[in-house]
Structure 1
Amino acid sequence: MSRLGALASQSMRKRAGLLGAVVGVAAVGVAAGVVAERALVRRSKRGTTDRYADEDFGQQAYDESTTVTTADGTDLYVEIVEPADGVELDAQFAASVTGAGSSLEPTLVFVHGFCLDMGTFHFQRKELTRRGDYRMVFYDQPGHGRSGKLETGEYELPALAEALHAVIDETVPDGPLILIGHSMGGMAVMAFAERYPELFGDRVVATVLMATSGGRLEETKFGLPALIARAGTPLLPLVNSATRLSGGVIDRARQASSDLAWLLTRRYGFGNPRPSPALVSYVEDMNSRTSAETVARYLRTLYTHARYPALKALRNTPTLVIVGDKDMITPVTHSEEIVRHLPEAEFVKVPDSGHVVMLEHADEVNAALVEFLEKLTA
């Protein structure tokens, strides 16, 4: 080996050792506070009347499950819920959106956010299934839930748009669509609009954007899981590099600090200072199943998200924007900026709610969503 090569190799080993040491120190620091954090979690849960204590947050019923493979070879897990027998879209509305006398009901396609999975829409799925009015498609985004991860390269929002397109092609080959995106899911919808603006007003007849943003994410702590959020944005490049070297170490530290993760989930995900402990645990469970490697590979693209111009495609469709007034991850100002670009959009600001508004205040979100859907067929 040449002297230059030897020096480069030595430098890389030192850097790897430094990164490993930093991660190790972080893990030790987290572990040292676990006892106190567990006591705080117990106090947080004690004496709380939890309306969701008996809620079954397990898998919900579906009529069909399938796997959709994207162009880059990622397998996406999909579940489909069919409408109740005999439910059809109003023929006049169908004709207006399809240009024909079709009575196809609109299919609702749900796109979840970062570090979550299709269970994000637990209460919306439950209520709309009870009503039986719509065909619904749910899928786990690449690297999340039961979907496969990207084998090489970065997760890019245009790739998430292509994933959405692949799901639509496989599960909704024709008929009207309503896209419903939360957080990063809303950004995937915007990226989809950027790539396929001709579909809006033709196939995509309405859009719902929940707790999302068209850009400026560098100003927020976007959906960071516990260990990374604790370090803060300035350390992201360090954590990203460390993840490639020792992602398993970070994952183990996160698991060891589950109570810290629970507290941070409550702090950053919810607006009410005493939310349902069962809901907090449900969200944290989804968070914890997302690997540190996936987190790091998504963060780099999320912080560069800037798609306000893509919103012009949504002007051809009715749009509903929903946000919690105490959202710390994609604050109200981000939704207000979306509405500024879409002045005809309906805007619902849910009081005393944080980033997981559709879980924390499911009744209010369901009411707004059902009213919006019913207006489309009135």
Structure 2
Amino acid sequence: MTTTTRRRVGIAGAIVGAASAGVAAAALAKRIAVGRIRLRHDEEASEPFGELRGREHTLVTSDGVALHVEIDGPEDAPLTIVLCHGYCLNLESWHYQRKDLRENYRLVLWDIRSHGRSQRGTADDSTIDRLGQDLAEVIEEFVPGPCVVVGHSMGGMTIMALADSRPELFGEKIRAVALIATSAGKLAELTLGLPAMVSKAVHKIAPSTVSLLGRKGSLIDKTRSAGSDIAFLITRHMGFGDSSNVSPTVVDFAESMIRQTPTEVFAAFYPALMNHDKLSALHVLDPVPTAIVFGDRDWLTPPDHSRAIAAALPKAQLAEIPDTSHLVQLERPGIVNDALRDLIKRVEL
């Protein structure tokens, strides 16, 4: 090996070594940062997330998908509360609301198709309209009397799809509605806090990228089998507004629900979310008491989306929660629970 070759090899080795050291240093810094977060006092450390249980049922939908349903609270309660969870979550995301309401009200919680313990549907049936049909079937099977329907994120969109297809249910059967951190449409215009040009570029490549992720889903899921520091930090940053004070246990709980959702499911529902447009169906909700709850730091369904819903429903009660992001029911459960109880009281009067 010549002197020149040895010099080039040495330089290349130094570059690789420096790069490796940089990656290792970044990983170490990230691990230290997460470790410091976890060392803080955590009032939720003993909270029994994922341990609340009800009477379990299976509903086979009209297109043959088995949905996991749980009934909680007194069976003879005069009013039922139906809880519809969001994208890449499951019915456990209603932990604090379930805990607060189960003593006095009959609760119906369900995992939407392809999420939680419900059966996987096909990509063709991964639509908001199909979720609206599923909700109608859940209500018909498990709600004997009047009910209040509550939806977070894609769960709120599911309620809008139900309003579009089954408007006759709103009034006598569905007495009130709560729409939490959701949207009536135009999610494809989200900036996610990015500069306009960058956001436009991201939206241009997002559909093909998500489609590719779906095709490689099983391979990707192998790398998601255990929680990571990166996943923790992303969930903490994107899902919670006051991330400096949010409980690490709550972040871990949310991240575990997201991680349990297969990548193929994430990819299958993505087009439905981007194409969702039910603004014209909102008038169906106007005759029933409606609560709109959202965080002012929500990047995924920004405040303007909730305000647009409120503009279409001028009689609705609007609750904007400061320093809060998309997972508002986990980040500020007390405020959300109070809003739900106020809504329920309007029905019970």
After superposition, the Cα gap between the structure-2 partners of 1:107 and 1:160, relative to the gap in structure 1 and judged at 3 Å, is same
Residues 143 and 36 of structure 1, relative CA distance in 2, 3 Å threshold: farther
- Structure 1 Cα separation of the partners of residues 134 and 27 of structure 2: 39
Q: Give me the whole-angstrom Cα distance separating, in 2, the residues matched to 1:59 and 1:151.
A: 29
Match of 1:253 in 2: 223
Going from structure 1 to structure 2, the CA distance change for 1:162 and 1:33 (only over 3 Å counts) comes to farther
Amino acid at match of 2:295: G
Q: Aligned AA for 2:311?
A: R
Give the drift of 1:73. 1.3
Name the TM-score, length of structure 1 as normaliser. 0.79
Q: Does 1:114 align with 2:87?
A: yes
Mapped partners of 2:120, 2:26: distance in 1: 32
Of 58, 68, 74, which aligns to 1:77? 68
Correspondence for 2:44 among 44, 52, 58: 52
| Residue 272 (str. 1) matches residue 242 (str. 2) | yes
Residue 241, structure 1, aligned to residue 211, structure 2: yes
Q: Specify the alignment match of 1:68 in structure 2.
A: 59
Please state how far the C-alpha of 1:189 moved relative to its aligned partner: 0.3
Provide the residue aligned with 2:98 in structure 1. Answer: 125
Does residue 42 (structure 1) correspond to residue 12 (structure 2)? The answer is no
Question: Which residues of 2 match residues 321-332 of structure 1 at below 5 A?
Answer: 321-332=292-303
In 1, Cα distance between equivalents of 2:171 and 2:25: 55
Q: SS where residue 286 of structure 2 aligns? A: helix
Who is 2:280 aligned against? 309
Stretch moving more, 285-294 or 132-141: 132-141
Superposed, 1:352-371 pairs within 5 Å as: 352-371=323-342
**With structure 2 as the length reference, what TM-score do the two structures score?**
0.86
Q: Which residue does the alignment assign to 1:139?
A: 110
CA RMSD in angstroms comes to 2.2
**For residue 302 of structure 1, what is the amino acid of its counterpart?**
L
Partner of 2:179: 209
Identity %: 39
Aligned length: 319
Change beyond 3 A, Cα 1:376–1:257? closer
Deviation for aligned residue 1:242: 2.3
Contact 1:221 1:329 in 2 (8 A): no
Q: Equivalent residue of 2:158, what SS?
A: helix
User: Quick one: structure 1 residues 50 and 286, their matched pair in 2 at CA, closer, same or farther if it must change by over 3 Å?
Assistant: same
- Per-residue deviation at 1:74? 1.0
SS of aligned partner of 1:316: coil
**Structure 2 residues not aligned, in runs of 5+:** 1-22, 193-198
For 2:222 and 2:142, how far apart are their aligned partners in 1?
37
Change (3 A) 1:369 1:256: closer
Tell me the amino acid that sits aligned with residue 59 of structure 1.
Answer: E
Partner of 2:212: helix, strand, or coil? helix
- C-alpha displacement of 1:37: 3.0
User: Would you say the 8 A contact 1:186–1:210 is kept in 2?
Assistant: yes
Closer/same/farther in 2, CA of residues 303 and 34 from structure 1, 3 Å limit: farther
Asked if the contact 1:155/1:301 (under 8 Å) is kept, the reply is yes
Deviations 1:192-214 (A, max 9, x none): 00000111112111000100000
Q: Verify the 8 A CA contact 1:31 1:257 in the aligned structure 2.
A: no
- Rounded to whole Å, the distance in 2 between the matches of 1:256 and 1:339 is 40
Change (3 A) 1:75 1:84: closer
| Distance change in 2, residues 1:355/1:31 (3 Å) | farther
CA distance in 2, matches of 1:280, 1:57: 11
CA distance in 2, matches of 1:163, 1:309: 21
- Change in CA separation of 1:117 and 1:232 when aligned onto 2, cut-off 3 Å: farther
SS at match of 2:275: coil
* 1:278 aligned partner, one-letter code: T
Instruction: Structure 1 unaligned segments of length 5 or more: list them.
Output: 1-29, 88-104, 223-228
- Aligned-pair distance for 1:239? 2.8
1:27 aligns to what? none
Mapped contact 2:207–2:271 kept (Cα < 8 A)? no
Distance 1:106 1:268 in 2: 35
Q: 1:58 to 1:220 in 2, by over 3 A?
A: same
Conservation of the 8 A alpha-carbon contact between 1:312 and 1:341: yes
Distance 1:65 1:256, change over 3 A: closer
Q: 1:39 offset after TM fit, Å?
A: 2.7
Q: 1:207 to 1:31 in 2, by over 3 A?
A: farther
Match of 1:95 in 2: none
Distance 1:235-1:364 versus aligned 2 partners, 3 A rule: same
Alpha-carbon distance between aligned partners in 2 of 1:31 and 1:150, rounded to the nearest angstrom: 41
